[in-house]
């Protein structure tokens, strides 16, 4: 058991070292890098599609997609008009700093304003791994139920921004907005919480404003402030 713990500590230290290197690279390039995480099917790819369609004329964006299998998400992003690079993790339940570092060979960071990393659909493992991102965005969606924050506390506690998607389905579910807000604020008092629907477009403006503001901060060389 002691051997297992020593080995695990070494793996974590290596991951943190690579994440710090990534953070430095991103800061020097002045690129806003966001790491998106959520359950499968909360709408990460849909949010990035809408962001690409609405901001691509103004901002130079790209996406790194993480999935166990298939390149469906990268295809969807490319159809929405911006470059995407697909990482398939096989069985891996999260993206690693090493995978992001390797993927950067595919992008000219200096030619980008915003780089989105869409993590593997999983509310648990991705929350444990820093990818050097400026902001960590956690998505939830109304059909998943209002109690997800307290059931997956690490993800919501470490989030820099929380997006509640599928508000168009509120009336068709037994999701309580008040309960959700209470759970979120108990774990994370200050992170922006943006409620939207990728399907209807409601609330998307607040999200786009957030992306623009973070992009300006990154471009000005402001350092990230990881939790």
Helix (H, G, I), strand (E, B) or coil at 42: coil
Measure the N-to-C terminal CA separation of the chain; round to a whole number of Å. Answer: 30
- Specify the residue, 35 or 46, whose C-beta has the smaller distance to its own copies: 46
Using the contact rule CB under 8 A, the part of the chain among 101-109, 110-118, 148-156, 217-225 near its own copies is 148-156
3-state secondary structure 143-206: HHCCCHHHHCHHHHHHCCEEEEECHHHHHHCCCCHHHHHHHHHHHCCCCCEEECCCCCCCCHHH
In the structure encoding, which two tokens stand for residue 221, read together?
Answer: 């060389």
Of 195-214, binders to its own copies (CB under 8 A) are 199
x/- mask, its own copies, residues 154-193, rule CB under 8 A, reads x-----------x-xx--xxx-------------------
Residue 159 and residue 136 in contact, taking contact as beta carbons nearer than 8 Å: yes
- Scanning residues 67 to 86, which ones bind its own copies (CB under 8 A)? 67-70, 72
Using CB under 8 A, which of the segments 55-63, 104-112, 141-149, 188-196 binds its own copies?
A: 141-149
Q: Count the Cβ atoms, other than its own, within 10 Å of residue 30.
A: 17
The residues, ordered by sequence, that sit 6+ positions from 220 with a Cβ below 8 Å of its Cβ are 30
Q: What is the DSSP letter of 107?
A: S
In sequence order, what are the beta bridge partners of 77? none
The residue among 78 and 199 lying less far from its own copies, judged by its C-beta, is: 199
Size of the site for its own copies (CB under 8 A): 39
Per-residue DSSP letter, 119: -
Report 48-67 residues binding its own copies (CB under 8 A): 67
Q: Rule CB under 8 A: choose which of 20, 109, 143, 217 binds its own copies.
A: 143
Query: Looking at 2, 3, 189, 225, which residue binds its own copies (CB under 8 A)?
Result: 3
Give me the least distance between CB of 75 and its own copies, in Å please.
11
By CB under 8 A, name the binding residues for its own copies. 3-4, 7, 11, 39-41, 67-70, 72, 91, 93, 120-125, 128, 141, 143-145, 147-148, 150-154, 166, 168-169, 172-174, 199
């Amino acid at each position: 058991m002691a051997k297992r713990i020593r080995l695990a500590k070494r793996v974590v230290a290596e991951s943190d070292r690579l994440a710090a290197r990534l953070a430095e690279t991103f800061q020097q390039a002045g690129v806003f890098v966001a790491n998106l995480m959520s359950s499968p099917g909360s709408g990460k790819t849909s949010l990035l599609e809408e962001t690409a369609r609405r901001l691509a004329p103004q901002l130079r964006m790209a996406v790194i997609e993480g999935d166990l299998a298939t390149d469906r998400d990268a295809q969807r992003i490319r159809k929405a008009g911006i470059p995407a690079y697909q990482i398939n993790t096989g069985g891996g339940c999260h993206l690693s700093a090493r995978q992001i570092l390797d993927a950067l060979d595919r992008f000219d960071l200096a030619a980008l304003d915003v780089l989105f990393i869409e993590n593997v659909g999983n509310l648990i493992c991705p929350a444990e791994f820093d990818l050097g991102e400026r902001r960590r965005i956690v998505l939830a969606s109304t059909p998943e139920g209002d109690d997800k924050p307290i059931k997956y506390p690490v993800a919501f506690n470490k989030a820099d921004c929380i997006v509640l998607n599928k508000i168009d389905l509120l009336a068709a579910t037994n999701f309580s907005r008040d309960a959700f807000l209470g759970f979120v604020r108990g774990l994370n008092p200050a992170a922006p919480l943006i409620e939207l629907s990728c399907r209807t477009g409601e609330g998307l403006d607040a999200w786009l404003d957030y992306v623009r503001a973070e992009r300006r901060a990154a471009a000005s060389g402001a350092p990230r402030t990881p939790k």
